[in-house]
Structure 1
Amino acid sequence: MMTNIEERLDQMEVLIKKPSFRQTKGKANEVNYWVFDYAPEDELTVRNRIFYLKNKNIKGTDGFELVVYDLYDLIIEHLQSKNFMEKCYAQEEKRGIKKLQDAIQHTLKITDKENLLVKYIAENTSENAVVFLTGVGKCFPLLQAPEVFNKILYNMPQTFASVPMVLFYPGTYTEQELIIFNEYPEDNYYRAFRLVR
């Protein structure tokens, strides 16, 4: 049973401020990837807390830079910069969501070494950062959580191996399974830690 969302967010805030959180740890030099899962109906509470933490961190009193990337916003900004939005609407109407998903992932180069999301995050993140990845619920099904890990985080340059990356996930993460919106199981995923139980 999950505790109250406010209590869990309070626990998360305490954890990310600990210096040990910002260091790679574990017996096998495990990655510093985390999932903060929450009930989908708590989305606005979670967004508000992230906004609050980001603004609070601007003062630089926490000893790290808090960087927040809304994956949905990054995708939309890229599509708009290429004037692809109308093409996307037409593609979805004519060929369906799966073909649109493939087309968007192709334009973002999600599956190759020139992955544009990886490039953007790497270019805009300091080595003394804690990264919050949001917007996965808004992206579904165009970009799913396992793809965020397998095609984005695992392709980050080695210099970012110790940078904690926290995926905010509207659903359930058991450290074995991801269930978006507590309804749709996604591919199994095992290498991220659950940030707050």
Structure 2
Amino acid sequence: MSEKNIKERLDELGARLGAEDFRAGEGLMNEANIRIFAYDPADEMAVRYFVKLVNEDAGKYKGVKTFNLFDVFLDICDEYASVTDIIEEEKYSGSESVLEAIQGFADNKAFVQKMLEQGMNDAEVIILYGVGEVYPIARLHLILSAIQPVRLQKPVVVLYPGEFTGEQVRLFNKLTPSSYYRATANL
């Protein structure tokens, strides 16, 4: 049996987003309804195109809300400092110092709070993407842990540029794996 290409996998994901059994989390054996759609980072443009289609076709993808984690991050930054100010500060203080300062106001709870403000609880299915864009500012496993108490059992699909073993996520197929056992890798 040949391995499916990214287009075939995304087409299958698109079809599953509206399925009642998918939305109800059937087949997860009481696990959190968090699914990882791991893909080769080289397929990033196909994934972005899929997200564009989901955002443009509200009829086909009724109740699905997408969140680009990098855009969420920029919205958080707007409350504290402009991106231009942050870049200027990095020139004087260095990357590590600025990263530490950013993580002080753009922590995992801030990401969840911003997504709640942007309608996360109004969605029937939540798609998170831009995981690679927001690294190292935020880490997926920590954001998912912060989402879990507030998402009211709605399915969360993470479009993840890297590997997911069922127990660990490994961004870009290169970075040190991070443990995250609550998600399922069946997409």
TM-score with structure 2 setting the length: 0.86
Counting matched residue pairs gives 184
> Structure 2: which amino acid aligns with 1:119?
Q
Assess, with a 3 A threshold, how the Cα gap between structure 1 residues 128 and 108 changes in structure 2: closer, same or farther. closer
Counterparts of 1:10-21 in structure 2, within 5 Å, are: 10-21=11-22
- Alignment pair present for 1:167 and 2:161: no
Name the residue aligned to 1:153. Answer: 147
In structure 2, the residue matched to 1:108 is 106
Instruction: Give the distance between the partners of 1:145 and 1:104, measured in 2 at CA.
Output: 16
> Residues 39 and 160 of structure 2 are in contact (CA less than 8 Å); yes or no, is this contact kept in structure 1?
yes
Q: Point out where structure 1 has 5 or more consecutive residues left out of the alignment.
A: none
Look up the equivalent residue of 1:125 and give its one-letter code.
M
- Any stretches of 5+ residues in structure 2 without a counterpart? none
User: Does the CA contact (< 8 Å) of 1:65 and 1:126 recur in 2?
Assistant: no
Identity %: 24
Helix, strand or coil at the partner of 1:37: strand
* CA deviation after TM superposition for structure 1 residue 108, in Å: 2.5
Please tell me whether the aligned partners of residues 100 and 142 of structure 1 are also in contact (alpha carbons under 8 angstroms). no
Corresponding residue number in structure 2 for 1:134 = 129
- Tell me the C-alpha RMSD between the 2 structures: 2.2
1:1-197 correspondence runs (5 A): 2-25=3-26, 26-27=28-29, 29-56=30-57, 58-59=58-59, 61=60, 64-110=62-108, 115-123=109-117, 124-150=119-145, 152-154=146-148, 156-157=149-150, 160-196=151-187
What amino acid is aligned across from residue 54 of structure 2 in structure 1?
A: L
Change (3 A) 1:186 1:90: farther
Structure 1 runs (4+) greater than 6 angstroms displaced: none
* Letter aligned with residue 189 of structure 1: Y
